[in-house]
Amino acid sequence: MLPSSANAAVRVDRLTKVFNGFTAVDAVSFEVRRGEIFGFLGPNGAGKTTTIKMLAGLLLPTSGGGTVSGFDILTQTEAIKRRVGYMSQSFSLYGDLTVEENITFFSGLNGVPAARRAERREWVLEMAGLTERHRRLTRELPLGWKQRLALGCAVLHEPPLLFLDEPTSGVDPLSRRKFWDLIYTLTDEGITAFVSTHYMEEAEYCHRLALMNRGKLIALDTPAALRAGMREPILEVRTDNGPQTVEALRGQPDIVETAMFGRAVHLAVSDSRRALATIPALLESRGVTVQSIEEIAPSLEDVFVSLIRAEGGAVIG
């Protein structure tokens, strides 16, 4: 059993969900502290969305249990729904309604008191940058604005806890940055944010990170601590042909993992000194010109690839 914590916004103990014999979430235990941005990461099929749906009161666990904002996820799901905001990975607003009409609809759906609705409407419009566009059909908005509107509608009822399931999927980098500025604003006001994402640069914005793979929780710590715990050294190689570099080095002695990283190639190696000495000659013999090679601090992407590989890899398909 997890130790009880009065500062926990979310607390789960051996949370499990099985669908027709398939274990989507496998005995997961963790706590989310009040006021933190808790990142929930993992490849497709890792169990992230299923976990979030159980915590948000949308899906009952097969076994295990826990609390969200002090309410039991097995017996008090309706109370949980009133106390959380939820933004799904698929766009959740109505495209044939205007911006203002969506806000009005979700104000009623989320039980915003009538006396507060005008104030909350103005807050959402200002927060999302849509004050001058409140009469536009929602389907006509650029995706970044749609997502900011969806975030605003998810917190109309001022919940203490916000679940965001891949909220910036498909959004351009500038819009993602603006979206995260809004998340920081909300957490500065005391809201707890539970965020799943595929973007490693977004993981850096979180106070702590949980990594899921094949339904299991395989890592939980701060971004800095996860990077510090990387087991293999990382080399960054820059050449005149990245894909050819990957092919030439894959499976070579001392090389544990090869991956493109922008225009460079990142290598997880067992012995950095030996690899630094042998890789340039090996690549030159394959017709690849080495521009630079150096040992670097691991990125979160390097860390997660290493951890997932150690757990047998991600689910394929």
Contacts of 48 (CB under 8 A, 6+ apart): 40, 41, 42, 165, 196, 212
Give the Cα separation of 249 and 73 in Å (integer). 49
Q: What is the pLDDT of residue 3?
A: 45
pTM for the structure as a whole: 0.88
Q: Where a domain ends, among 193, 222, 251?
A: 222
Give the Cα separation of 278 and 210 in Å (integer). 36
Per-residue pLDDT tens over the stretch 154-182: 999 999 999 999 888 878 888 888 889 99
The answer to whether residue 30 is domain-embedded is yes
CATH code for position 271: 3.30.70.100
The answer to whether residue 79 is domain-embedded is yes
Residues 193 and 255 in one domain: no
Write out the residue range of the structural domain in which residue 130 sits: 8-222
Give the Cα separation of 217 and 85 in Å (integer). 24
Residues 49 and 136 in one domain: yes
The answer to whether residue 139 is domain-embedded is yes
Number of domains in the chain: 2
Residues 118 and 168 in one domain: yes
Residues 102 and 137 in one domain: yes
Residues 205 and 273 in one domain: no
Residues 22 and 165 in one domain: yes
Q: Where a domain ends, among 198, 222, 246?
A: 222
The answer to whether residue 317 is domain-embedded is no
Residue pointed to by tokens 């800095």? 224
Label residue 267 exposed, middle or buried (CB < 10 Å: 0-12, 13-18, 19+).
buried
The answer to whether residue 151 is domain-embedded is yes
Residues 34 and 87 in one domain: yes
Residues 151 and 257 in one domain: no
Residues 92 and 75 in one domain: yes
Residues 171 and 240 in one domain: no
Q: Where a domain ends, among 159, 188, 222?
A: 222
The answer to whether residue 307 is domain-embedded is no
The answer to whether residue 286 is domain-embedded is yes
CATH code for position 157: 3.40.50.300
The answer to whether residue 312 is domain-embedded is no
Q: What is the pLDDT of residue 2?
A: 45
Whether the CB-CB separation of 89 and 161 falls below 8 Å is answered with no
Where is pLDDT greater, at 35 or 312?
35
Banded pLDDT at 5 (limits 50, 70, 90):
low
Which percentage of the chain shows pLDDT scores above 90?
79
Residues 235 and 215 in one domain: no
Residues 214 and 264 in one domain: no
Contacts of 257 (CB under 8 A, 6+ apart): 232, 266, 267, 268, 305, 306, 309
Per-residue pLDDT tens over the stretch 242-287: 999 999 999 999 999 998 988 999 999 999 999 999 999 999 999 9
